[in-house]
Amino acid sequence: MEAPVPGLTKAQEKRLALLYFTASYQAGKWLMPAYHFNIDEGIDGVHDDPQHMDLKSWAGQVQALHALIKK
| In the chain, domain spans | 7-29+54-71
How much is the pLDDT for 48? 60
Instruction: Please report which confidence band the pLDDT of residue 68 belongs to, taking 50, 70 and 90 as the band edges.
Output: very high
How much is the pLDDT for 38? 64
How much is the pLDDT for 12? 94
- Which pLDDT tens digit goes with each residue over 6-61? 888 999 999 999 999 999 999 999 998 876 666 677 777 766 666 788 889 999 99
What's the alpha-carbon Rg for the chain, to the nearest Å?
Answer: 14
> How far is residue 57's CA from residue 41's CA, in Å, rounded to a whole number?
26
Give this prediction's pTM.
Answer: 0.75
